[in-house]
Amino acid sequence: MSDQLNMRYGCNPHQAPARCFRRDGGPLPLQILNGSPSYINLLDALNSWQLVRELRQVLNLPAAASFKHVSPAGAAVAVPLDEQLRAAYFAEDEALSPLATAYLRARGADPLASFGDWVSLSDTVDVPTARILRREVSDGVIAPGYEAEALEILKKKKDGDYRILQIDPGYDPGPQELREVFGLALEQPRNLFMPDDGFFAKVVTQRRDLPDSARRDLVVATLAIKYTQSNSVGLALDGQAIGIGAGQQSRVHCVRLAAAKADLWHLRQHPRVLELKFRKGLKRAERINAIDLYLQEDATSQELQAWEASFAQVPVRLSAQEKREWLDGLQGVALSSDAYFPFRDSLDRARRSGVEYVVQAGGSLRDDLVIAAANEYGMVMVNSGVRLFHH
């Protein structure tokens, strides 16, 4: 392994040149197997690798993440897909390994945001996973290893320029981390928090049952927001993130964003959406965009004209009432917040998107009002005492 990785530029072309190296002069734990990763690629790769590594450690399941601009668009573990989700993810005829299933779930959380993603995979990349990756618009991938045939499949992406990184799974960066901002060095202990049984110990609501599936989903949501730019809130169901609200200045806006994405995720499984007839030759990304416009309430006339051209037969759009009836079937959703809820408004919005299980730091002056709202909705809420800001 080399001790330095040179890049053409940093975050922007005028920030040139750029490089990656270790301050102690040691070798990098990374190998470039194909392509030339950028500065932003490496930020996504190193953050997303930590996420999938920790999901693997805590849940003992293959894990995947789809990253964009240093936050996950989706994250998931290998929970089998039903036929409805296979259809929603355009994977009816795909042969799926557990790792491929995890990536399909991660990519399917927010396919618009995942367009051109950086992929992180917890396990050695197998052929089914490589075939799923080959069909998607993606910038690159990081994993601890690659089967020979899978690597050859991936090397052909993007006319041979697909960025492929292999990371040493045993690499330990040490307990301290250091960054420099405006010429000043900032040092802190690395965030080594991992959700364990103690994380769920303080249930503060009247309802107290927390089934294993809910614990799993709360772990997925919690580790996803651990690597999401703060403020952040994540919703998860069936082992995958279904909505992540990142980088908002107010807590309720995080919830609104995450819940709106979860709503779209669920609406994409509506029978009318699954029955849409697309124009022959329409690419997968174009179908995803067409579905998004089909489900939007505020599409412009120009957007609708472009939208109508996507279909072999122009479909009748879902009414607000039909959408609401379908969304009422979304239940059992887990929500994790990277800090406490200062007001009950976050729970009021979360409930409309099927949230039943909540973990938050607690410690607000209005904890009693937030707990009362959770009781009103029959939620189970844990006050973990753990804040997970990520900047």
* Residue 4 in this model has a pLDDT that exceeds 90: no
Q: Listing from the earlier edge strand, what are the strands of the sheet with 232-237?
A: 30-34, 163-167, 138-143, 117-121, 63-68, 71-77, 240-246, 232-237, 333-337, 355-360, 380-383
Closest to 149 measured CA to CA, from 122, 119, 118, 125: 125
Looking at CATH, the fold of the domain delimited by 4-167 is given as: Cytidine Deaminase; domain 2 (3.40.140)
| Per-residue pLDDT, 124 | 98
The catalytic residue positions are 68-69, 231, 391
pLDDT over 90 for what percent of the chain? 87
Model pLDDT, residue 383: 97
Q: What is the pLDDT of residues 90-125, one digit of tens each?
A: 999 888 999 999 999 999 999 999 999 999 999 999
Q: What is the pLDDT of residue 303?
A: 76
Q: Judge whether residue 2 has pLDDT over 80.
A: no
What's residue 24's pLDDT?
85
| Predicted pLDDT at 253 | 96
193-267+327-383 maps to which CATH number? 3.40.140.20
Q: Indicate if the pLDDT at residue 1 is higher than 70.
A: no
Q: Are 140 and 164 in contact (CB under 8 A)?
A: yes
Domain topology for 271-317 = Helix Hairpins (1.10.287)
Average pLDDT for residues 57-66, to the nearest whole number? 98
Tell me the domain boundaries of the chain: 4-167, 193-267+327-383, 271-317
Do domains 4-167 and 271-317 share one topology? The answer is no
Q: Which residues partner with 184 through β-bridges?
A: 181
For residue 304, pLDDT beyond 90: no
Structure tokens at 131: 């075939």
**Distance, CA of 21 to CA of 4 (rounded, Å):** 5
Average pLDDT over residues 355-361: 98
**Three-state DSSP state, 390:** coil
pLDDT band (50, 70, 90) for residue 316: confident
> pLDDT (tens digit, 9 = 90+) per residue, 144-203?
999 999 999 999 999 999 999 999 999 999 899 999 999 999 999 999 999 999 999 999
pLDDT of residue 276: 92
Judge whether residue 305 has pLDDT over 90.
no
What average pLDDT does the segment 324-348 reach?
97
Burial per residue of 253-263, b for 16 or more beta-carbon CB atoms within 10 angstroms, e otherwise: bbbbbbbebbb
Considering only residues 313 and 231, tell me which one the structure prediction assigns the higher pLDDT: 231
pLDDT value of position 98: 97
